[in-house]
Amino acid sequence: MTAGGAPRPTILIIEDDETIRETLTQILEDEGYVAVAAADGRLALSYLETCETAPNLIMLDLMMPTMSGLEFHAELRRDARYGTTPVLLVSADATVSEKARGIAHVAALKKPFDVDMLLATVGKLCPRAT
Amino acid sequence: MRRATTPDLEEEPRSREARVRRLAQAFVTDEAMAALRHDLLSHLTGIGTVTYLLRKHVDDGELPATEPVKPPRERRGGDLLRMIKEQVTAATSKLQRRMIGAPDRAVSEAPLAACAARARASLLNAEGVVVTLTGDDDGARMGGRLPLIAAANDVEVEIAMGCLLENAIEAVSSEHGDCEASPGSSKRDVRVTLERVTSAGDEPEVAFVVEDGGAGFDEGASARAFDAFYTTKKGHLGLGLTVARRIAQRWGGSVVIEGGGPGAHRVALRLPALPPSRRSLP
Ligand SMILES: Nc1ncnc2c1ncn2[C@@H]1O[C@H](COP(=O)(O)OP(=O)(O)OP(=O)(O)O)[C@@H](O)[C@H]1O
Ligand SMILES: [Mg+2]
């Protein structure tokens, strides 16, 4: 728990690579976030339908089986609850920044990323109560 | 004859064949490169996060520090990753630029019937599978219907069609496992239909639909069939559908497994139709 017992921000990680998914969850938990992980867009959508606390940030891999990151994003925005939830695209796609440009509430980070850089970006998009 | 109105079809057959082959190879190489690059960068990301976590736990005293785990600051994961990433990016972008350029807008009319006939003719069909083409644009001369022409590069369309036809022929051939005939179709048949896709609101599309009498997509295969290197066939690369879809998407079209799920037997290549005003009618 952060100082003062303020609620910890929740981050939803959507990532098909198991190693990245599990280590990222751990890293973000260590940093004081609540991290929830889904292996693909469908699982993430069903989580979002029923979750009690809406995530404060969604980290989204662009290239995933069954449903691409951009398809997930389109679905996500249909739900009014998630119309402005910040989304951080994380992808090995060299054009990920171009893809994010111009889309509201979407930022991008290229894989492989420096973890310190990732945490700085996450911190900006989803400030922790201090 | 429509042939006379489309100069591209006059091309020397052998030089055209060579062009199709070269471009097909370029697409396959390009897809393979892109997939390898993606996998490599994913692995590097995983190594980066694992290293970070290990380091942190060492710093927090949760793991015993040993020399190899605690390198000097400047040699930590981040710098190494950046270096490798630069190398990978430089190497692959150089290669990719050489492979596929921007779509060749100069030749962007693909008469479906001609492309399909050529794709069929270019396939080695040792098994003697019967491939029937129906619904072609010959109706243009007889019934006054507009011919089916896609707004896409005809050589690329031929390659994409070849990928789908090849899969269908393989699905009904004996070497790729015992195929049970689906109801209503003969076991060794491949049927191709060329059709106009009319869905309200959308831009008009033309489609090349391949239906085979094989066992359909395996459980799980329909979800992953478009992934590069996904294959259920011995000795295959698993790039056919990846390439077909890439070509379709380059031109604003798509490749879809119709019916979805396991047991589907129809795969459709859809492309935007050339606006009627730009067609050279017979
Ligand atoms: N018509 C079909 N019927 C049943 N399964 C199919 C059909 N077309 C594709 N598949 C399935 O999808 C997989 C991927 O197809 P794709 O064309 O990408 O690769 P491939 O045919 O295995 O290899 P390559 O095309 O590189 O020779 C196939 O291995 C097969 O399992
Ligand atoms: Mg194939």
The domain segmentation of chain B, as residue ranges, is: 11-103, 105-278
Query: Which residues does A contribute to its contact with B (CB < 8 Å)?
Result: 17, 19-20, 23-24, 26-27, 30, 63, 65-66, 92-94, 111-117
Q: Do A94 and B52 touch (CB under 8 A)?
A: no
**Interface contact B53-A94, CB threshold 8 A:** no
**CA of A38 relative to ligand 1 center, distance in Å:** 28
From the CA of B186, how many Å to the nearest CA of chain A?
Answer: 31
Q: Is the pTM above the cut of 0.90?
A: no
Q: Kindly report the CATH class assigned to B105-278.
A: alpha beta
Contact in structure between A102 and A73 (CB atoms under 8 Å): no
Among B123, B167, B187, B211, which is best to mutate for testing ligand 1, by the most ligand atoms less than 8 A from CB?
B167
Q: Do B42 and A94 touch (CB under 8 A)?
A: no
Give the pLDDT confidence score for residue B122 in this predicted structure. Answer: 86
Please name the residue whose Cα sits nearest to atom 23 of ligand 1. B238
- Give me the residue label for tokens 């398809």: A71
With an 8 Å Cβ cutoff, are A20 and B49 in contact?
yes
Nearest residue on chain A to B83, judged by CA atoms?
A112
CB A10, CB A58: distance < 8 Å = no
CA of B231 to the centre of ligand 1 (A): 6
Across the interface, of A20, A65, A93, the residue whose CB is closest to B45 is A20
Ordered mean pLDDT values, 10 residues apiece, chain B (282 residues):
47 78 85 83 90 85 60 54 69 57 64 91 81 66 64 93 94 64 62 84 87 86 86 90 93 88 83 74 47
A10-121, CATH topology level: Rossmann fold (3.40.50)
Distance B130 CA to ligand 1 centre (A): 19
| Residue A2, strand partner residues | none
Residue having the nearest C-alpha atom to atom 6 of ligand 1: B217
Q: Are A17 and B46 an interchain contact pair (Cβ–Cβ within 8 Å)?
A: yes
The ipTM, to two decimals, is: 0.85
Helix A115-125, helix A18-30: angle, nearest 10? 60
B90 near A CB under 8 A: no
pLDDT digits (tens, 9 = 90+) for A22-71: 999 999 999 999 999 999 999 999 999 999 999 999 999 987 767 788 88
Ligand 1 atom having least distance to the Cα of B242: 18
Q: What does the pLDDT read at residue B77?
A: 54
Helix (H, G, I), strand (E, B) or coil at B193: strand
From the list B4, B270, B273, the residue with the least C-alpha distance to B146 is B273
Residues with CB under 6 A from ligand 1: B 163, 167-168, 171, 212, 214, 216-218, 221, 225, 230-233, 236-242, 267
Ligand 1 atom at minimal distance to the Cα of residue B226: 18
Is B49 within 8 Å of A23 when comparing Cβ atoms? yes
The C-alpha atoms of residue B212 and residue B232 are separated, in whole angstroms, by 17
Tell me if A115 and B52 make a contact (CB, 8 A cut-off): yes
Q: Encoding tokens for residue B241? A: 């559908």
% of residues, chain B, pLDDT over 70: 67
- Residues B15/B36, Cβ–Cβ less than 8 Å: no
* Beta strand extents in chain B (DSSP E only): 110-111, 130-134, 149-150, 189-197, 205-212, 254-258, 266-272
Ranges of each domain in chain A: 10-121
pLDDT score at A45: 95
Taking only the tens place, the pLDDT of each residue in B48-58 is: 999 899 888 88
A114 backbone dihedrals φ, ψ, rounded to 5°: -85, 130
> Which residues of chain A neighbour B81 with C-beta distances below 8 Å?
112, 114
Instruction: Provide the token pair at B208.
Output: 């090349």
Ligand 1, atom 9, lies closest to the CA of: B167
pLDDT digits 0-9 by tens, B180-219: 545 545 567 899 999 988 776 778 899 999 999 888 888 8
Q: Distance, in angstroms, between A5 CA and closest chain B CA?
A: 23
Burial B119-134 (b: 16+ CB within 10 A, else e): bbebbeeeeebebebe
